[in-house]
Amino acid sequence: MADFAAPRKSLGQNFLQDPNIIRKIVDSLAVKATDTVLEIGPGRGALTELLLPLAAHLHLVEFDRDLVQYWASRNETNLTVHGADILQFDLTPVLSNVDSIKVIGNLPYNISSPVLFHLLQYADRIASQVVMLQKEVVDRMAAQPGSKQYGRLSVMLQQRYHIESLFTVPATAFFPPPKVESAIARLTPLDRILHPVASHADFAAMVKQAFSMRRKTLRNNLKPMLNATQISALEIDPSARAETLTVAEFAALANAFSTQQS
Ligand code: SAM
């Protein structure tokens, strides 16, 4: 057994300890012997030890230098260790020799939404993502228009993925226990994008702008991008608030903006 340093709070280090939950999380990714898997934040290896014998190749992205050193010293033939911040990590080299990869991670909670946004740029090449996050964030990912939880994260993810909230994980399953309840989500790219957008960058900018001030109307929030007449032309009420709009309506707004730019 390796002699690990004390868990680092600043890196969101809450290590999973419950073998049944660990097995359930790994099973949710349905790893095949031909799969390349990328794990975000392996830590002491709760998930990693089960993934190693399953995957054709396993990539680890870990920020903690001691843990990077530990995983590098394991000299496993199907393992590549990347000492990096996942938010800065370019997945292109990992994707270079394969059609797609699967991603898994018990994410550090302080950066969980930014990680999901970062991975969005590779959405077409990630066959499945299984992530553990704060339950509250999973609720936001899957939220529907009109609910309090519905926001930028819900719209951005639902345009690209089928989102499943699989099960919750109590704080007692970790060492040290976190202060919040956790949940497992699985994100699968939609076979057919129901609401296509001409430009993902314009869509992202539109959603961000629409939610920039939650209490304000679309007419006010969208001023830098579209005026009230342009919004009405899409049969969207300019005095509505972003939290009531469907993904289809956000796609229509973004596409109108893209057309105006071209
Ligand atoms: N997978 C392990 C488990 O389930 O027990 C550890 C999970 S722990 C919640 C989060 C892990 O992410 C830690 O190992 C931590 O060092 C790592 N981490 C924190 N910030 C990171 C970042 N920006 N990029 C990559 N890894 C990070």
Best mutation site among 21, 62, 71, 118 for ligand 1, i.e. most ligand atoms within 8 A of its Cβ? 62
pLDDT at position 1, please?
57
Residue 95 main-chain phi, psi, to 5 deg:
-90, -5
Strand pairing class (57-62; 36-40): parallel
**Torsion angle in degrees (nearest 10) through CA of 159, 37, 183, 9:** -120
75 is in an annotated binding site: no
pLDDT at position 237, please?
98
The answer to whether the CB of 36 falls within 8 A of the CB of 102 is yes
**What kind and span of H or E run contains 247?**
helix 247-261
62 is in an annotated binding site: yes
Q: Report d(CA 94, CA 133) in Å as an integer.
A: 24
Best mutation site among 9, 16, 64 for ligand 1, i.e. most ligand atoms within 8 A of its Cβ? 64
CA of 33 to the centre of ligand 1 (A): 25
The answer to whether the CB of 75 falls within 8 A of the CB of 82 is no
pLDDT at position 221, please?
97
pTM for the model:
0.95
The CA-CA-CA angle for residues 180, 86, 126, to 5°, reads 95
16 is in an annotated binding site: yes
- Residue 63 DSSP one-character state: -
- Residue 81 DSSP one-character state: E
pLDDT at position 262, please?
82
The answer to whether the CB of 31 falls within 8 A of the CB of 37 is yes
Residue with CA closest to ligand 1 atom 6:
43
- In this prediction, the answer to ipTM > 0.85 reads yes
pLDDT at position 54, please?
98
85 is in an annotated binding site: yes
End-to-end distance of the chain based on CA atoms, in angstroms? 60
Tokens 């009531």, residue located: 244
Q: Report d(CA 170, CA 177) in Å as an integer.
A: 9
Indicate whether residue 30 lines ligand 1 (CB < 6 A). no
Both structure tokens of 146: 């009109």
Residue with CA closest to ligand 1 atom 19:
11
Query: What is the mean pLDDT of each successive set of 10 residues along the chain, which is 262 residues long?
Result: 87 96 98 98 98 98 97 96 98 95 96 96 96 97 96 98 97 95 97 94 97 94 97 97 97 97 84
Q: Would you call the peptide bond into 178 cis, given omega within 30 degrees of 0 as the criterion?
A: no
